[in-house]
Structure 1
Amino acid sequence: MGVLYLFVPLSMIIAGILVWAAFWAIRNNQYEDMDGPAHRILLDDDDPRIPTQSNAGDAEDKTTTTNNRK
């Protein structure tokens, strides 16, 4: 019976932390985009026809190098 004096306040503290964490997540827009990550995994990022930041930068470097040689 004496263990209840320990577990009841401990469980109330844990429940309070969980409620605080839920409100923190809602306030900080953690649940704003629930479908984006699920759809993002279906997109094919390995397609060479899709331009990326590094590919776009390489194309600009090649054109400036070619123009400088003329």
Structure 2
Amino acid sequence: MDILYLLIPLSVVLVLFVLASLWWAVYRGQFENIEQEGERILRGD
């Protein structure tokens, strides 16, 4: 039972870290034009 006092806060911190990482990626424009990368692979050099 004592381990829950450690695991619950750690899981909350992990969830906050994941959400912050996703927010940062969206804010920095990582998902702006995802179709272009797929087309770049098919076009070739």
For the criterion TM > 0.5, the same-fold answer is: yes
TM-score by length of 1: 0.61
Aligned counterpart, 1:8: 8
Structure 1 residue ranges, 4+ long, deviating more than 2 angstroms after superposition: none
Which position in structure 2 is the counterpart of 1:20? 20
Q: CA RMSD in A?
A: 0.7
TM-score by length of 2: 0.92
Which amino acid in the other structure matches residue 13 of structure 2?
I
Higher relative contact order (CA 8 A, sep 6+): 2
Q: Give identity over the alignment, percent.
A: 33
Gaps of 5+ in 1: 46-70
Residue 29 of structure 2 is matched in structure 1 by: 29
Alpha-carbon distance in structure 2 between the residues aligned to 1:27 and 1:38: 22
How much has 1:31 moved relative to structure 2? 0.3
Unaligned 5+ segments in structure 2 are none
Larger radius of gyration: 1
